[in-house]
Structure 1
Amino acid sequence: MKVAIIVLNWNQPETTHECVDSLRNIEYRDHVIIVVDNGSDIEKYNRLLSLIKENESIKIVRSGKNLLYAGGNNFGYEYAKRFDPDYVLFLNNDTIVDRQFLRRLVDFMDKHNDVGVVSPKIYYSEKPDTIWHAGGYVNFLTGKIAHYGLREKDDSRWNVAREVDYVSGCALFIRRQVFDRIGGFDESFGIYTEDVDLCFRVKKMGYKVVYVSDSIIWHKLSISSGGNVSFFKIWNKFKSNIKFFLRHCPYYMLPITITMYLVTSVVALLILKLGFKPER
């Protein structure tokens, strides 16, 4: 089964190179790596070209402008179609992968035709025994969208594959035919929640979304801060989450969902104002 691996780069040539370097060593060989330069500065783009050399299994394409996560990945997928993949993996450039991670995702999907999307177990790279993502859940009663296992030590709880509400776009593995049917990522979401929306649309088609525990990667995200947090990020996440709730929340729960989410968003802004950095 052919896999197209799409990696977005935006002004991070060294980080992207490290990701691609780890992909060179994976066991599953029937794949093509497509690096999408998502509108980087020309100096950064040239640096990317100097670090990553194209060959039969590694391609570099340039979008010309920053299309954000959804647009950049849709752009990369349009290019990937020429390789006629059976599966597509959308992978963050700030990840390092285990040698067997892709084989285990492919094997799981090959054995479960009712599954449309899967994702590996994702650890913090700076603390490899601590989980960043083990699938995700949406609680419409509280307006919460969150990861399972966040900041938890890895133990037997996280060693079983299970159905989840969504998986992170950090490493989202999907059947090509399913991605075609749903029309790709919804680019109107901006920079957040497009992965959650995609998974919910896949589930509405009758497919399952599953966390695959024996496939692992590492994410270069600070366990103490969750990355840089700003009013800009909180505001954009707020807009995207509201859009998601309006689209997918049961209508009879929508008033309480929106109310609870407004309350938690105000709390997040207060925390930011006080100088703390909440986890994404």
Structure 2
Amino acid sequence: MGENNFFKKLAYLYKTSVEIIQEYGFLYFLRFGSSQVKQQKLDILRPKDNYEKLTIKKPLDKKTQYKIWKAKQEEQSISPQLSTHDNPLSVVLIIRKKSKTLVKCIEAVLTQSFSKFELVIVTDDQNTFETIKELINTKTINDISINLKFLNPNEDFLFSELLELTSGDTVGFLDETVFLKKNCFNQIINESLENPTSDLFYSDEEILYKNDEVPFFKPDWSPYLSLFRNYMGNLFFVKRSLLMKIEYNESFHGENFLWFLYQSYENAEKIFHIRSILYSSEENKSVELRKIIPKILEIRNLNSSIQQSSKNDHYEINFRLDKQPKVSIIIPTKDNGFLLRKCLRSIEYNTDYENYEIIIIDNNSIKTETKQFLKSLPYKVISYDDNFNFSKMNNVAFSHSSGEYLLFLNDDTEALMPQWLNEMVSVCQQKDVGAVGAKLIYRTNKIQHAGMVFLKNGFFFHPFDHESFQSDTQFDFINLMRECSSVTGACLLTKREIFENISGFDEQFDVFYGDSDLCFKIRELGFKIIYTPQAILRHDGSTKIRQAVRLFIPVENHDSFVKKWSVVKYGDPFYNPNLGWNYSINIEDSENQN
């Protein structure tokens, strides 16, 4: 009887495992399975009377997740000990337009738990000026020093004048759309003291949208993402030392607020992301950012042009190609003639880029039709007779290449737009970029790849998997160029010089983690990994890898990666630690994680 129960338990575990893999994917299964083994140890194999207790709970919707997260944060919002530093904070409130929420904004400033600060309020509207004066007169204000500055219609308010009105070591800037959490200034002061080398600070925020509260758990500083979205928001804090370096000659008023914010970004030596929600705000549109992008591109010396997108408030930035450097397109394959033929045909007929070579590395194909097809090709075909090893195959093919740029491409991909390679090369040509990944979609027009994310346990996953390829979920990140920690090797472009400097792919990662390890090595050199949504290809989903891993569990690759890159324990800098699997909210461990 005991033996029957044991095998019954094994059958149940197998069935549950298959269901998890089908529903959530293999890497989620590994993550979930390892946590269960850690919790239950050998008890996980012990027979039980009621197997229904082992079922997977249905995930909570994001609104419910956020309510739970927010409640836990409020329980933990005991203020840390404050600095005794004299007058460490000045705050500048720029009134950019008349707003029904102005009173709420000012009241949130005046009721901070930390109350020893200077407040400068700037407005060019007479009625607003009078409203603010009346509001202030009704408040009991002890330690707050308030300076209300009214600008006449043609009056310039120079940046130098603003500096004279403030004396704090840290100066905060906000507009009337921002509603501070009660402990905001308290946390800012402590973060600035704990991070003395940082000179600009921003935090996560809660966006008020259609009578709903939507958390925006942000990535760390990404200059490329900032070209498409002011994701830092309209609240930021600057060390006085940084303000003294900024050459800002324009009048400091509402219309120039965003331009000043970006000037601060460009001059900052180290930008610190406070991974906690310190304020609420009204929805932030990209229309206003569009007005100043040309000046930002000029400051950054980015040779580019701006093009309006098909979406009303969106735009695209096209980096110019002064020439067409040679690209070596490296494609591993094995008995995959049907898909390889479609892949090659899409390159031949749907690629405007002209200066490329194609190198196919064949992993000992045995089908007669595949061998005949490979012989018929006008491209270089390299034979590789060892066991499947993604990293080694690409390294071997690289040794036969001559391109200034290297594109590692799966044989089950198809180019869907003529400009795809122009886009990838133009982005990769930027001096600070080391690798570029594309938007990959399934045949159902759902997302297969839009950048990769790693968790603190070292597991990687593709966010937005099976979302519509034009979905605006999670603040439209699917459709915005941004920095990532890693992009998939199914379509990865890098520079030959960089690939040689890092000695190519690490061949210990035979099936999994080879692409992520490559990206980590590139980032270690100081280069950025960029995802661009303007290069779109179809990807059937690593056909060869699926075949190679039928009897393979990637635990060994995972363990090797975690040992090699201990930095993963700190989390992905471009994926907020308040988030769990695929942009769910981490309610299991919602303590402040700075």
TM-score by length of 2: 0.38
The structure 2 residue matched to 1:203, chosen from 494, 519, 523, is 523
Deviation per residue, 1:42-83 (Å, 9 max, x gap): 625523335x421xxx32222233452111111111001xx3
Which of 538, 550, 564 matches 1:218? 538
* Residues 152, 123 of structure 1: alpha-carbon distance in 2 compared, 3 angstrom cutoff: same
Amino acid at match of 1:106: V
2: CA distance between counterparts of 1:105 and 1:209? 12
Q: How does 1:176-191 map to 2 (within 5 A)?
A: 176-191=496-511
The alignment covers a number of residue pairs equal to: 239
1:185 and 1:217 map into 2 onto residues whose CA distance is 23
Higher relative contact order (CA 8 A, sep 6+): 1
Pick aligned residue for 2:434 from 100, 108, 116: 116
Distance 2:562 2:534 in 1: 31
Partner of 2:12: none
Q: Of residues 287, 307, 330 in structure 2, which corresponds to 1:6?
A: 330
Kindly report which structure 2 residues correspond to 1:229-240, keeping only aligned pairs within 5 A, or say none.
232-233=551-552, 235=553, 237-240=554-557
Structure 1: gaps of 5 or more residues: 255-263, 265-280
TM normalised by structure 1 equals: 0.79
Where do residues 134-173 of structure 1 align in structure 2 (5 Å cutoff)?
Answer: 134-140=450-456, 142-154=457-469, 155-156=471-472, 157=476, 158-173=478-493
Q: Which residue of 2 aligns with 1:27?
A: 352
1:179-231, Cα deviation, whole Å (9 max, x unpaired): 00011111111211111111001100111111011001001139xxx967966
Partners in 1 of 2:377 and 2:548 — Cα distance?
34
* Correspondent of 1:78 among 374, 395, 399: 399
2:449 maps to what in 1?
A: 133
- In our comparison, the structure showing a higher alpha carbon Rg is 2
- Tell me whether 1:60 sits opposite 2:381 in the alignment: yes
Q: Residue 500 of structure 2: SS of its match in structure 1? A: helix
1:120/1:213 contact within 8 Å kept: yes
What whole-Å deviation, never above 9, does each CA across 1:80-111 have from its counterpart, x for those lacking one? 1xx3x11000000001112221011011122x
Report what 1:267 is aligned to. Answer: none
Q: 1:189 to 1:94 in 2, by over 3 A?
A: same
The answer for the alignment partner of 1:43 in structure 2 is 368
- Give ranges in structure 2 of 5+ residues lacking alignment: 1-324, 572-580, 582-594
What code does the residue aligned with 1:153 have? S
Secondary structure at the aligned position of 1:250 is classed as helix
CA–CA separation in structure 2 for the residues paired with 1:252 and 1:4: 35
Letter matched to residue 400 of structure 2: Y
Separation in 2 of the partners of 1:75 and 1:230?
A: 21
Counterpart amino acid of residue 404 in structure 2: D
Given residue 169 of structure 1, which amino acid in structure 2 is its aligned partner? Answer: G
Shift of 1:171: 0.5
Deviations 1:216-253 (A, max 9, x none): 1001139xxx96796623x1x21111111111123976
Q: Distance in 2 between matches of 1:24 and 1:252?
A: 43
Match of 1:274 in 2: none
Which residue identity lines up with residue 214 of structure 1 in the other structure? Q
Contact 2:424 2:535 in 1 (8 A): yes
Conserved? CA contact 2:448–2:462, under 8 Å: yes
Q: Secondary structure at the match of 1:116?
A: strand
Structure 2 counterpart of 1:151, which letter?
Answer: H
Query: Matched residues in 2 for 1:251 and 1:210: separation?
Result: 19
Task: Classify 1:36/1:143 alpha carbon distance in 2 versus 1 (closer, same or farther; 3 Å).
Answer: closer
C-alpha separation in 2, matches of 1:221 and 1:86: 28
What is residue 243 of structure 1 aligned with on the other side? 560
Which one-letter code corresponds to 1:221 in the other structure?
G
The share of aligned pairs that are identical, in percent, is 28
Q: Look up the match of 1:103.
A: 422
Alignment RMSD, CA only?
2.4
